[in-house]
Chains A and B, each alone.
Chain A
Amino acid sequence: MAMSHRITDAEVRHVAQLARLKLTDDQVHHHAQQLSAILTYVSKLNELDVSNVEPMAHAVDMSNVLRPDEPQPGLPNDAVLANAPDAEPPFFKVIKVLGEGSGA
């Protein structure tokens, strides 16, 4: 049976923090409603007995895929930095990382 699954605003805020998405209060509330509806729907999977089923992460069975360990040239530095929102060659430039509120 599909079970109703209510997700709270606090849970949405927690997941948004994990996903690094800055949401407004309105968006948090909207996500709570829509995710609740979707999670209620996907709980349809609880109808099935999967106790003896091996999980399948990938459609094609593959063992380790190896290649010769030979150095290859990477992209040149200017090509790598060409799309950067901010750069100081040869580096990407970000705002202050160390100190208060760094999140580090």
Chain B
Amino acid sequence: MDLTQLTLVELRDAIAGGKASAVEATRAYLDRIEKLDPELHCYHAVLADRAMEKAKAVDAGAFRGKPLAGVPLALKDVLCTDYGTTTCGSKMLEHYRSPFTATAVKKLEQAGAVILGKTNMDEFAMGSSTENSAFGVTKNPWDRSRVPGGSSGGSAAAMAAGLCAGALGTDTGGSIRQPAAYCGIVGFKPTYGRISRWGLVAFASSLDQIGPFARTVDDAALLLQVMAGHDPLDSTSADVAVPDYLAQIQRLSDKPLRIALGKQYLSDQNDPAVNDAVRKAVEIFRGMGAEVVEIDMPHTAYGIPTYYLVATAEASSNLARYDGVHYGHRAKDAEDLVDLYAASRAEGFGQEVQRRIMLGAYALSSGYYDAYYLRALKVRRLIKNDFDAAFAQADVLMCPTTTGPAFKIGDKADDPLAMYLNDVYTVNVNLSGLPGISLPGGFSRAGDGGGQLPIGMQFIGPAFEEARLLRVARLYEQATGYYRQRPVL
């Protein structure tokens, strides 16, 4: 039995049932990482010794009966851990060792999870390709000339390549769902506030959310189950009861399902395979007796400009804390204190991070605040209203995750605007605080090389209706079976 090919739930059950040990599972993943990761570069740091210690503790019975006992996971390197470094893909934090561990990570560890390491990412989670990492690019396991998506590209690629049984990412504008689509796996952003953000290094605080990568919807539901809930350390975490997700998503509703499809989503800008996948999904749901209604989402195209004003404004404020004094990079030979700040930040931050700080600072600056930032906040409400109207007519919304499959490494690296436009189907979900999930939606033949490239199908639900959302996603997953296909490595 190759333990690295099991789903998370299968592996968990194998370990709990004594068919495999946590040490065997952890060793199998570490061996696979050693073999494949030098080429793919999913991990920024592999914490092998610590992982083996934890696995031994699990096998000694320390986590008996816990929901993730012995399951090896990967963490995006934006999540603080009081072991190893937490770099955020930035030279600014290259040597930063957090004095605390993020609540979400702590919950996973208390549930018996084995942390394999920290994964590569776009610097401070700003990007859609993982090319903005200060520590080199991650390659897409389906085609190594292509990006894995971003910003959680390392976690997504590790999941797709079988270098972990589950992984954490963070999603501010699509940074879990887009790389999940590009890598052919499940990527799930829960409702804003469902999982504590304490210990998540902030990018845009009204949008950031932690979520899981997994092979299946059930695996994602299990990870959500462990992480969800109110945290006194995060005042924006929701004090809303956490249901039994795994039980609820397997229960079928007595009422016929109603699925909404925005008429703006079947666009000419999409790769033909994306539009085919959407049409096929409509057939699948109708075949189950569901009602599929076409609805108008008139503000879809305003999401990108709104997002890139709101997110950068919040980022320019959040990233003001990197001053070269308390932690992080400090420039040498500064003339005075202001010069120390400015030089440390110019040396420590990469180009995209500096661009976003500049854009955000401009949008918030005197004379421009009303024209840019305040206007964006108003359009944000119009975007949210589109979703409210949709959920008055339907249980969940169906939408492509991206316009096409993964692009080539380097293709959009010099054109920030082209990179931003990539997020058209994901940002509105963050602006509205809703839960969204991307799962394997089929494949596109992208020409050169002739290989298959995965594309994603996205489902969006009302706030705190994760169980409903995951139930629908699971129906689609079971009907299509795309999740069984893995890249050849």
Residues of chain A having any CB pair with chain B under 8 Å = 7, 11-12, 14-23, 31, 34-35, 37-39, 41-48, 50, 53-60, 62, 65, 67, 75, 79-80, 82-86, 92, 94-97, 101-104
Contacts and interface: CB of A to CB of B under 8 A. Distances in A.
Interface stretch (B140-148, B276-284, B335-343): B335-343
19 contacts: A7-B362, A15-B361, A15-B365, A19-B316, A20-B320, A21-B358, A39-B362, A42-B305, A44-B302, A45-B305, A55-B377, A55-B378, A56-B380, A58-B433, A59-B431, A60-B433, A75-B99, A80-B99, A85-B330
A48 B378 CA distance: 10
B416 A38 contact: yes
A58 B96 contact: no
Given A41-B305, A53-B379, 16 more contacts: A12-B358, A17-B342, A18-B365, A35-B358, A45-B309, A48-B379, A53-B378, A54-B378, A59-B384, A59-B434, A67-B235, A83-B96, A83-B99, A83-B326, A101-B335, A102-B336
Q: Could you tell me the dominant secondary structure of chain B's interface residues?
A: helix
B196 to A, nearest CB: 13
B232 A67 contact: yes
Contact of B378 (A56, A79, A95, A97): A56
Contact of B336 (A57, A59, A101): A101
Given A19-B316, A84-B327, A85-B328, A60 B463 contact: yes
Among A15, A39, A47: residue with most chain B CB under 10 A: A15
B238 A60 contact: yes
Interface of B: 95-97, 99-100, 192-193, 206-207, 232, 235-236, 238, 299, 301-302, 304-306, 308-309, 316, 320, 323-330, 334-343, 345-346, 349, 354-355, 357-359, 361-362, 365, 372, 374-382, 384, 416-417, 420, 430-434, 463
B382 A34 contact: no
Contact of B97 (A19, A45, A82): A82
Contacts of A47: 302
B361 A19 contact: yes
Contact of B384 (A18, A20, A50, A56): A56
A53 B376 CA distance: 11
Give me the 10 closest cross-chain CB pairs, A-B, nearest first. A59-B433, A103-B338, A85-B330, A55-B377, A83-B327, A42-B305, A22-B342, A50-B378, A56-B381, A65-B235
Nearest to A19: B361
Nearest to A101: B336
Contacts of A103: 336-339
Contacts of A50: 375, 378-379, 382
Contacts of A11: 362
B346 A21 contact: yes
A1 to B, nearest CB: 13
Contacts of A84: 325-327
Contacts of B463: 59-60
A16 B339 CA distance: 12
B378 A18 contact: no
B69 to A, nearest CB: 30
A20 B338 contact: yes
B361 to A, nearest CB: 4
A88 B69 CA distance: 43
A36 to B, nearest CB: 11
Nearest to B324: A85
A92 B325 CA distance: 7
